[in-house]
Amino acid sequence: MTIKSLDIIHDEHRALAAMLSGLRSIASGIEAGRLKPDYDLLESMIEYIDKVPEKVHHPKEDQYLFAKLRQRCAEALPVIERLETEHRQGDARMATLRDALASYRQQGEAGFQGYHEALKTYIEQEWKHMNTEEREVFPLAKAHLTAEDWAEIDAAFLSNQNPWEGAAGEYRALFSKIVNIAPAPVGLGG
């Protein structure tokens, strides 16, 4: 049985991973002196993470996948509760990252280390979060959810707009902007 919702979640994780890898690569380039900071690009990348994974992806997981798994598998409760707590902390984590970037923009080179540390913390937390979902939640969901559960979850995920595009394609436009201005190998920019 193909579980479409897990495929969608996995694809969304891969898109987020690409954005996180891009941020890390750019920060490494700045740190090594190969790149100059493009604050607008960094701000756009953080905006994308805030608008898509934090505001669309995580609520879908909570409302559909985690809710059904909570009903079917007591063993999953501790991990679900931890992940839901991390989802609720998303706004604060994004604010920390945005504030660190604003300080970097204001202070110039002197603010880079604070931004870089905030970025590394965010990326590490997000990687752990996605890995927990894929390595712990997905197997439990596959083992404990019924075909009817999956039909409902799949329908919910498939009925939602593609979160990477947004209501009027604004996320796709933001993603395209990022790809076009980010330096290689992150994007197509110079």
- Rounded average pLDDT over 4-33: 90
Q: What is the pLDDT of residue 190?
A: 61
Alpha carbon dihedral 16, 68, 139, 164, in 10-degree steps, equals: -20
Digit-coded pLDDT (tens) for 126-158: 999 999 999 999 999 999 999 999 999 998 888
d(C-alpha 120, C-alpha 140), whole Å: 29
Instruction: Give percent above pLDDT 70 in the chain.
Output: 83
Q: What tens digit of pLDDT does each residue of 93-135 get?
A: 999 999 999 999 999 999 999 999 999 999 999 999 999 999 9
Question: Pick the residue with more confidence: 11 or 63?
Answer: 63
**pTM for the whole thing?**
0.86
**165 has a pLDDT exceeding 80:** no
The full set of domains in the chain, from first to last, is 4-181 (1.20.120.520)
Whether the link from the prior residue into 185 is cis, omega within 30° of 0, is yes
The confidence score (pLDDT) of residue 124 equals 97
| Terminal Cα-to-Cα distance of the chain (whole angstroms) | 45
In one-letter notation, the amino acid at residue 58 is H
Q: Which amino acid is at 10?
A: H
**DSSP secondary structure, 47-95, as one string:** HHHIIIIIIIIHHHIIIIIIHHHHHH-GGGHHHHHHHHHHHHTHHHHHH
| C-alpha 6, offset from chain centre | 15
